[in-house]
Amino acid sequence: MKLWRGGRVATLAGDAGWGLIDDGALLVDDHGLLRWVGPSAEAPPADEVVDLQGALVTPGLVDCHTHLVYGGNRANEFEQRLHGASYADIAKAGGGIKSTVAATRGASEADLLAGARTRARALMAEGVTTLEVKSGYGLDADTEARMLRVARQLGSLGLDVKTTYLAAHAMPPEFSDADTYVAAVCAWLPGLHAAGLVDAVDAFCEHIAFSPAQVSRVFDAARALGLPVKLHAEQLSDQGGAELAARYRALSCDHLEFLGPDGVRAMAQAGTVAVLLPGAFYALRETQLPPVTALREAGVPIAIATDHNPGSSPTLSPLLMLNMACVLFRLTPEEALRGLTVHGARALGLRDRGQLVPGQRADFCLWDGGHPRELAACFGHNPLKARVFKGRIQGGA
Ligand code: DI6
Ligand code: FE
């Protein structure tokens, strides 16, 4: 048993509040689980004691929506958008996701891994201890598998990785009929699942991507294997994707700028998490805000993620997402931090992390700072001192 004592601990225990313990301590067992959390003065005895020297302690960050594995980059599209082209215009002209598909297909597994490792390390340097990575830039069986294998290998860096199959992301050039491609997407899934490469299944439900009817076929294939689903829903228009996803008890619906009242209700009833992605909202200069007040009033848990991808959200800063979630979406700093911890975990179906309470994994961050609201108030500054993953200190920035 190891005792970490003398920190300002934001436990995020319960459904609301920071759960602050001013001079707090955490007891971690040999399995990397929290055994006890409370005031240092009341701490039980331990074999080893670490002095936190007043550091601010929060749960480790959970980035529950990323497209971290890919080839190439799309800074050219940044310039095109500055000249007035929209994300949808660029996609229709064969750029966008399709250009990353070409670069990803042309990249070796080693190249993809090298790029993804660098990016994962950047996320870890800001406190990420659990990371979701999607496929969806292969759009053929081999490249989708390669992406998922690369994502799995990131786990050796010292963070927990969950993989999501997103072959229903865009139409590959070799298919002309979307229904035929969707049949292929469904046919590839059992093999990838049998290889242990898939934790969840996602799709892009949009006028430039797949219809609700096509998405439901992908979800049926997931359900047949007992895999949970999530959905890129109502990012550019209201397609009724959230209601569809809720019918499948989706773990999460993500983006949601165009989510309407029926979608909010359906998500609340299904217990589906709303994953808000301020990086994409910002980078695409969206003006339609996700319905935060309605989500809050309906009791839908709100998560925040980077949506890291080379096109619509090329950020590697979860801390910046905290700030943007508050400034752009009007979340409170506490809601934003819950969004990057306990609710992010829930968007991945994980109930064993995200709060610093006994029984949870000992994944936590040590920050330079006095109050957790500072993490959201600052931007362009990284106060991480160290990251503790499953009870082991991993160093920091
Ligand atoms: N929405 C997104 O924000 C990412 N995928 C999606 O369906 C962006 C993917 C990309 O532009 O490469
Ligand atoms: Fe995305």
Digit-coded pLDDT (tens) for 70-103: 999 999 999 999 999 999 899 888 899 999 999 9
Helix 178-194 vs helix 141-153: angle between axes, to the nearest 10 degrees?
40
CA distance 195 to 90: 35
User: Could you tell me the end-to-end alpha-carbon distance of the chain, in angstroms, rounded to an integer?
Assistant: 26
Atom of ligand 1 nearest to the CA of 74: 12
* 18 Cβ below 6 A of ligand 1: no
Which atom number of ligand 1 is nearest to the Cα of residue 87?
A: 11
Q: What is the DSSP string of 15-60?
A: SSS--EEEEEEEEE-TTSBEEEEEEGGGPPP-SEEEE-TT-EEEEP
Q: What angle do CA 50, 51, 57 make, to 5 degrees?
A: 95
Reduce the DSSP state of residue 258 to 3 states and report it.
Answer: coil
User: Under the phi-then-psi rule, with left for phi > 0, alpha for psi from -120 to 50, and beta for the rest, what region is 231?
Assistant: beta
Largest CA distance in the chain: 67
Please give the Cα distance from 357 to 363 (Å, whole number). Answer: 11
3-state secondary structure of 104: helix
- Residue 396: what pLDDT? 44
pLDDT of residue 327: 98
Q: What is the predicted pLDDT for the residue at 286?
A: 94
Query: Does the CB atom of residue 46 touch ligand 1 within 6 A?
Result: no
Read off the tokens for 328.
């752009």
Give residue 92's pLDDT: 86
Whether pTM exceeds 0.85: yes
Q: Which residues of the chain have pLDDT under 70?
A: 395-397
Q: Is any atom of ligand 1 closer than 6 Å to the C-beta of 96?
A: yes
Residue with CA closest to ligand 1 atom 8: 312
Both tokens assigned to 152? 């799995």
Q: What is the pLDDT of residues 328-351, one digit of tens each?
A: 999 999 999 999 999 999 999 999
- Binding site membership of 280 for ligand 1 (Cβ less than 6 Å): yes
Q: Is the CB of 307 under 6 A from ligand 1?
A: yes
Helix axis angle, 212-224 relative to 178-194, nearest 10°? 20
Ion ligand 2 — residues with CB < 5 Å: 307
Tokens of 76: 């050219």
Determine if ligand 1 sits within 6 Å of the CB of residue 97: yes
